[in-house]
């Protein structure tokens, strides 16, 4: 069984050990040592990366015998060799900050809202805590985050100690594992006691910062998304830079940004309504002119026209109104869609035309007697669409 050097000192970055087992797999070579400071992926924490004798360690796993398995692409050593292991310090420190930050935040959520941590996952950037409660108001989550950051700023010592099951009963531990033997307890001062095998900071201040950035419902529980350490700082920097750009464009202070955006949204809504009204009037004039100049097929005006960047609802409403005033069949194209309007009294229905268009040209849709719509017309058929529609309408009108 591999001796786990990180259990008593998470700051071990370089170590020496002897090779006890080597095996070839589809993924590369599995190298097992008599001792290792590499943390294997487990307990929701990411594995360490680094090198063994200069060879890149790409994954680290536990096996069923309790050994730490280091996976490398190439290996030319033999059993009994002494190797030098070097941990990627930046990744180790990130993981220490995330894990210690998670312990502090989980305890803060218990203190503020009595929400137990069901599970946690420490990701490459974002990390998550699944809580026993299904809903927590944002202002309550903010109080928990504030308490967690207060503990971080106090720079409380983080200790590792070992206790038997009976001793655990005297401690304010969050959850006692269901097994026998000694338990490794991570203690954040008197604030939190948690049984954990992960890597941790030596003082709470090393976490730097925790920030809740999202939440989602999950199996009746609430999962919160948080950042810790450098990731939390990078998130602040990125958001600060974006807010600075936006406030410069809106010429306002960032505290007035909400009001400025609301005002802009109201103005945009008014302008959209005005544009919609004007587009409707313009469409009405344009289609009237098209009807007047359109050729007749069996005494019925046939209007076929293509539009760009037009609101299909406006075209539909306009076409249906004009279809009541004239004896006309209209096929109005927008992108890969066709709106079909047929005046009352014409035997050929809009739905009949839609079915024929789908059969001969493609797409999906349908409708009723006076209006139908076909969408998703294949792009390879759109080039001669106007000609095709003209032929279809002329042929069907003649049949009726």
Secondary structure of the chain in the HEC alphabet?
Answer: CCEEHHHCCCCCCEEEEEEEEEEEECCEEEEEECEECCCCCECCECCCCEEECCEEEEEEEECCCCCEEEEECCCCCCCCCEEEEEECHHHHHHHHHHHHHHHHHHHHHHHHHCCCEEEEEECCCCEEEEECCCCCCHHHHHHHHHHHHHHHHCCCEEEEEEECHHHHCCCCECCCCCCCCCEEEEEECCCEEEECCCCCCCEHHHHCCEEEEEEEEECCEEEEEEEECHHHHHHHHHHHHHHHHHHHHHCCCHHHHHHHHHHHHHHHHHHHHHHHHHHHHHHHHHHHHHHHHCCEECCEEEEEEEECCCCHHHHHHHHHHHHCCCCEEEEEEECCEEEEEECCCCCCCHHHHHHHHHHHCCCEEEECCCEEEEECCCHHHCCCHHHHHHHHHHHHHHHC
265 belongs to a structural domain: no
Residues 79 and 98 in one domain: no
- Does 254 reside within a domain? no
Which CATH number is 82's domain given? 2.40.30.130
204 in a structural domain: yes
pLDDT confidence of residue 269 = 81
Task: Residue 289: give the domain boundaries.
Answer: 272-399
Q: Which residue has the higher pLDDT, 160 or 304?
A: 160
- Phi (first) and psi of residue 285, to 5 degrees: -65, -45
Q: For the chain, what percent of residues have pLDDT higher than 90?
A: 52
Chosen domain end from 87, 112, 143: 87
pLDDT at 158 over 90: yes
In a shared domain, residues 53 and 139: no
Q: Domain with 197 in it: what CATH number?
A: 3.30.980.10
54 plus 106 within the same structural domain:
no
Above 70 in pLDDT, residue 11?
Answer: yes
**Among 60, 87, 114, residue at a domain's last position:** 87
Structure-model confidence comparison of residues 181 and 397, the more confident one: 181
pTM: 0.72
The more confidently predicted of residues 91 and 272 is 91
Answer whether residue 110 is part of any domain: yes
| pLDDT band (50, 70, 90) for residue 378 | confident
pLDDT at 288: 67
Mean pLDDT throughout 160-182? 83
Is residue 303 domain-shared with residue 279, that is, in the same domain? yes
Same domain for 81 and 119? no
Res 399: pLDDT:
47
In a domain, 264, yes or no: no
Average pLDDT score over residue span 200-226: 95
Closest of 40, 284, 301 to residue 48, by C-alpha? 40
Position 10 scores a pLDDT of 95
Structural domain contains residue 178: yes
pLDDT bucket at 165, cuts 50 / 70 / 90: confident
Query: Would you say residue 398 has pLDDT above 70?
Result: no
Whole-number average pLDDT of the chain: 87
Q: What is the pLDDT of residue 281?
A: 59
The CATH number of the domain where 366 resides is what? 3.10.310.40
Mean pLDDT confidence for 82-91: 97
Domain boundary among 216, 237, 258: 237
Pick the range with the lowest mean pLDDT from 81-85, 252-256, 307-311, 313-317: 307-311
60 belongs to a structural domain: yes
349 and 214 assigned to the same domain: no
Among 29-38, 214-223, 385-394, the minimum mean pLDDT is found in 385-394
Do 226 and 164 reside in the same domain of the chain?
yes
DSSP β-bridge partners for residue 193? 173, 187
| pLDDT surpasses 80 at 280 | no
Angle (CA) 34-39-42 rounded to 5° is: 115
Are 233 and 99 in a shared domain?
yes
Judgement on whether residues 131 and 199 belong to the same structural domain of the protein: yes
How many distinct structural domains can be found in the chain?
A: 3
Mean pLDDT of 291-300: 68
Answer yes or no: is 251 within a domain. Answer: no
pLDDT of residue 20: 96
% the chain with pLDDT above 70: 88
Residues 109 and 187 in one domain: yes
Please indicate whether residue 101 or residue 370 has the higher confidence score (pLDDT).
Answer: 101
Return the top range by mean pLDDT from 221-230, 251-260, 364-373: 221-230
Instruction: Say if residue 216 is in the same domain as residue 316.
Output: no
| Same domain (yes/no): 200, 308 | no
* pLDDT tens string 304-341: 777 777 777 777 777 777 778 778 888 888 888 888 88
């Amino acid at each position: 069984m591999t001796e786990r050097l990180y259990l008593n000192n998470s700051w071990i970055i370089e170590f020496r050990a002897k090779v006890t087992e080597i095996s070839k797999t589809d993924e590369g070579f599995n190298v097992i040592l008599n001792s290792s400071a590499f943390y294997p992926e487990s307990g929701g924490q990411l594995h360490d990366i680094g090198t063994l004798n200069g060879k890149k360690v790409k994954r680290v796993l536990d096996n069923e015998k309790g050994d730490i398995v280091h996976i490398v692409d190439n290996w030319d050593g033999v059993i009994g060799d002494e190797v030098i292991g070097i941990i990627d310090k930046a990744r180790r420190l990130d993981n220490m900050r995330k894990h210690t930050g998670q312990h502090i935040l989980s305890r803060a959520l218990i203190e503020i809202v009595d929400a137990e941590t069901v599970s946690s996952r420490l990701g490459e950037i974002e990390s998550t805590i699944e809580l026993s409660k299904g809903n927590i108001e944002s202002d309550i989550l903010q109080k928990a985050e504030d308490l967690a950051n207060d503990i971080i700023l106090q720079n409380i010592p983080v200790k590792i100690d070992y206790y038997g099951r009976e001793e655990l009963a005297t401690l304010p531990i969050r959850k006692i594992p269901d097994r026998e033997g000694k338990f490794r307890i991570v203690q954040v001062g008197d604030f939190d006691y948690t049984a954990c095998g992960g890597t941790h900071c030596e003082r709470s201040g090393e976490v730097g910062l925790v920030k809740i950035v999202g939440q989602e419902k999950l199996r009746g529980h609430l999962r919160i998304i948080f950042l810790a350490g450098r990731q939390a700082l990078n998130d602040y920097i990125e958001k600060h830079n974006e807010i600075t750009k936006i406030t410069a464009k809106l010429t306002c202070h960032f505290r007035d940004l909400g009001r400025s955006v609301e005002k802009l949204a109201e103005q945009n809504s008014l302008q959209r309504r005005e544009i919609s009204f004007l587009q409707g009037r313009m469409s009405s004039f344009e289609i009237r002119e098209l009807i007047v100049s359109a050729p007749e097929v069996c005494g019925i005006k046939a209007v076929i026209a293509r539009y760009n960047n037009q609101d299909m609802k406006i075209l539909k409403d306009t076409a249906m109104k004009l279809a009541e005033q004239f004896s006309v069949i209209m096929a109005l194209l927008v992108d890969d869609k066709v709106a079909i309007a047929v005046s009352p009294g014409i035997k050929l229905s809009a739905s009949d035309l839609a079915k024929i268009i789908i059969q001969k040209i493609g797409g999906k849709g349908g409708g009723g007697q006076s209006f139908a719509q076909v969408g998703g017309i294949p792009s390879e058929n759109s080039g001669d669409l106007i000609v095709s529609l003209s032929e279809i309408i002329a042929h069907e009108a003649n049949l009726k």
